[in-house]
Structure formats: C-alpha cells, structure tokens
Amino acid sequence: MTAGSKGGGSGVAAAKAAAAGPRTVLITGVSRGLGRALALELARRGHAVVGCGRSADHVRSLQAEIATPARHFLTVADVRSDSNMAELAKAVVEKKQVPDIIVNNAGTINKNNKTWSVPAEEFDTVVDTNIKGTANVLRHFIPLMIEKKHGIIVNLSSGWGRSAAAEVAPYCASKWAIEGLTRSLAKELPPGLAAIALSPGVVNTDMLNSCFGSSAALYQSTEQWAPKAATMILSLTLDDNGSSLTV
C-alpha cells in the first residue's frame, strides 16, 4: 500500500491516459459536484460514462450538457439500495457497457455537530451512502469485471479518511472505513483487477460548504479539479492496487 499523489508528471500521465484509448467509466453520484464535473471531463475526452444519481432533474440536466449524449448511460438510481444497483448492473450488461473503471463517488456528510448530538437518522444516512452504498456497487459490478478479466476500482476517500476533524465524526468514520475496505478488497481481487482509495483533495463543493461555510470558496472549483482527476484516474494501473492516493 502506498500513499500520496501518483507520480510521473501530469504531462506523462495525460499521454499514458490518452494512449490507452476510450474507456467506459461508471460514476456514482454523477449528477452533482465532483461526479458531474468528472463525467463532463471524461465525455469531453471521448470516454463513455455510465452514471447514476438520485435526482431525476439533475440527471436530465447532465444528459443535456454532456458531450455526445448517445454514447452514455445516465440513470436515476440510489447506491443505498442494493436492488437499484442490481438493476443497474443488469442494464449495463444488456447495453454492453460493462465498465472498465468504477468511480465510487456518491457520498454525503453530516451537518457540523458533536458526535453525541448527531441525530441517529443523519448518522445512518452517512453510513448507508458512503460505506454500504460503495459495498452495494462492488457486490454487483466486480463480478462483471472478473468476467472481463480486467477493471480498475476507485473508491473515493478523503483527507478525513486519513486524519480527523471535530464535528464531522460520522463522515470521518465512513471514509476511514473506505480506506480499510479498499485495502481488504485489494487483497481479494483476482489478477487483472485493482482497487485504489482516492482522496479528491479539497474542492469547493456543497459538502465542503456544509463544513467550511463561505471559506469553501477559497478552494479549487470542481471544474478546476476535474481535468487533474480524470488524468489520474485514467492512468491508474494494476500496480496501484491497494494504494491510497490523492488527486
């Protein structure tokens, strides 16, 4: 297991990513924030995006904006629902769009609060989305990748999955869980597959705004982040299996 940013220089990484040719990338939480920005960037580069989000309006908005919409499969589905993920997996097989790369991006955060003051329902939502939602995706999509004998799995972690902060204990706990889950998964995968825990860095999203308030505007936008993230994700290899990396 390694930690840190993936080396090699952005120019070299971009060249390697481009040389590998078009890929099909599954992105959960595709309709907002990091997921939306990454989907638009990947589509602009000629890759096919399979994406799901909970809001039909947001999914339709992305469909209207994304390059070459007919190439992609964007749908309403909730990672918290195991049956939703089973249906999504069945659909991608029928559409012959089994992903080469999975980006488990869907996530949420609790409102700033002392651990003992976080309502049970709110704590459950964080765990159900960030941990169990990721597991639901893996349960139904890893067998498809095993059948293809190749695949890269990217589980979005956080700086707070490797450190901690006050008043976001449920979120920190969920991202520490993603780090552990990914390292265990990496030991289980057969040849041809790899799992990586990827921290996006600090990006101005609704979730960051929830924690930082107006200070979130001081950080990079999703549009600034997406090209770097896309290049890095596309350049991941089997040698990165079990790594904890940062964009």
What residues does 198 pair with on adjacent strands? 156, 245
Q: Please state, as a whole number, how many other Cβ atoms lie within 10 Å of the Cβ of residue 5.
A: 12
Handedness of CA 125, 127, 130, 133 (dihedral sign): negative
What residues does 27 pair with on adjacent strands? 51, 103
Exposed, middle or buried: residue 21 (CB in 10 Å: 0-12, 13-18, 19+)? Answer: exposed
Q: Which residues of 83-95 are buried (b: 16+ CB within 10 A; e: fewer)?
A: ebbeebbeebeee
Respond yes or no: is residue 219 known to be catalytic: no
Q: Please state, as a whole number, how many other Cβ atoms lie within 10 Å of the Cβ of residue 150.
A: 12
> What is d(CA 154, CA 236) in angstroms, rounded to the nearest whole number?
9
- The owner of tokens 């989305």 is 129
Which listed residue (160, 171, 176, 225) is catalytic? 171
Catalytic residue IDs:
171
